[in-house]
């Protein structure tokens, strides 16, 4: 069985960071992914569609979120889909689906990252130590049509967000 989610999107709000008594951190934030609109063959206009995802990052990834992730940051996230239930203030059972992040990488140019303005942006993408092998690092992206690699300055204008 495989439970794996890969998202590339923009952060909707600054991460909410909480610390527990054993100095363990958790970060919660939203990520927007957008599918481009298009015109179908029959001429029907299909509008752009944005999905919002709830991201949960623990430990080192939570500290990464606290230091470097801001509203508008473009991220690559790998994680697991989890659904949980809770009772709201009126006692009504609610369900929520979250992405528990295993890997987070900052994308975009250094100047595009809101945290870079504060001098805090790292020189290289960050990810969970368990997934730090080169095989798990999706950047740079390979252009299958030409067999070349797309750097951070090339090809970024084709993204739908």
Q: What angle do CA 57, 153, 47 make, to 5 degrees?
A: 70
Task: Domain count for the chain, please give it.
Answer: 1
Question: What is the pLDDT averaged over residues 123-129?
Answer: 41
Average pLDDT, the chain: 77
**Per-residue pLDDT, 57:** 96
Element (H or E) spanning 100, and its range? strand 93-106
**Residue 118 — pLDDT band, cuts 50, 70, 90?**
low
Residue 77 vs residues 39, 69, 101, 108: alpha-carbon distances, Å: 29, 12, 6, 14
Angle, CA of 20, 54 and 113, to the nearest 5°? 90
Helix, coil or strand: residue 47: coil
Question: What is the residue range of 77's domain?
Answer: 5-158
Q: How far apart are CA 126 and CA 73, in angstroms?
A: 14
All residues at 6 or more sequence positions from 128 whose CB lies less than 8 Å from its CB, including other chains = 60, 61, 101, 102, 103, 104
* pLDDT tens digits, 19-44: 998 889 999 999 999 999 998 899 88
């Amino acid at each position: 069985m495989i439970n794996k989610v890969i998202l590339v999107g923009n952060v909707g709000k600054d991460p909410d960071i909480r610390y527990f008594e054993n100095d363990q951190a958790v970060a919660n934030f939203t990520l927007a992914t957008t599918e481009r609109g298009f015109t179908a063959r029959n001429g029907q206009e299909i509008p752009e569609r944005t999905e919002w995802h709830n991201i949960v990052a623990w430990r080192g990834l939570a500290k990464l979120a606290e230091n470097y992730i801001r509203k508008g940051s473009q991220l690559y996230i790998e994680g697991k889909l989890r659904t949980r239930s809770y009772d709201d203030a009126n006692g009504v059972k609610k369900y929520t689906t979250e992405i528990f992040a295993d890997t987070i990488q900052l994308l975009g140019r250094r100047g595009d990252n809101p945290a870079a303005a504060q001098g805090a942006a790292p020189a290289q993408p960050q990810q969970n130590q368990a997934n730090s092998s080169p095989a798990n690092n999706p950047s740079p992206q390979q252009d299958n049509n030409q067999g070349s690699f797309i750097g951070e300055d090339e090809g970024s204008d084709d993204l739908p967000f």
